[in-house]
Amino acid sequence: MKMKTERREIPSLLKKVLTTDVHLTDAFVNQTERFLPLRQIKIYYKFLEVSGHGLLWLSGWLAFIWIANNKNLYQMQVNLLIGLLFDILTVAILKAVTRRRRPSDNKNSFELGPDKFSFPSGHASRASLITFFFFSIHPVSSVFILTFFSWTISICLSRILLRKHYFLDIICGISLGIMEGFFINMIYLKRATCVEFVSWITDEKLDGGEFHV
């Protein structure tokens, strides 16, 4: 006996919003491709794609904590690590729930699981979270701030021009990243807690322990 698969009913207002989003995104990309040498700059789009990948940021940040091995950095490092983990988990859940397909022109066999869906943009949320973190929570030099803002804007535009996302995916991704930043600011862990956490994950005694490495 064949089981009938029930399709979700999308409210008419939401359907109109999504349809408009698709048309606006498609029109923007088509017009932009008339003036930009897409093939020549596609390699830069790919670089931006890699630079905002969640798993690369997570593994790279863990390596940074390990290699730097600086107690003065642990508070900043651990709190951003929590933010990255929270972002990856939140985006994965939202994608699994909304299940919005990526633009039809986008074909990538390496996108599996929730990542094959487009809403919200994980790259946009992650870049926005990181920029917010270093702008508001752990302020850095204005030179780096400008770099972070430029990087975030470039990533968001590249995700649209690569036909990975629609406008609404990007807008909601940016909003999500900012909200995650406010959340991390609210729960910001103290220095002693962060030192203990690093001691636990590295299996080292850092302050007053039985041994020092």
Catalytic residues: 123, 165
Ramachandran angles phi, psi of 128, nearest 5°: -65, -40
Residue 167: burial class (beta carbons within 10 Å; 0-12, 13-18, 19+): middle
H or E stretch at 116: none
Residue 18: burial class (beta carbons within 10 Å; 0-12, 13-18, 19+): middle
Q: How far is CA 164 from the centre of its chain?
A: 14
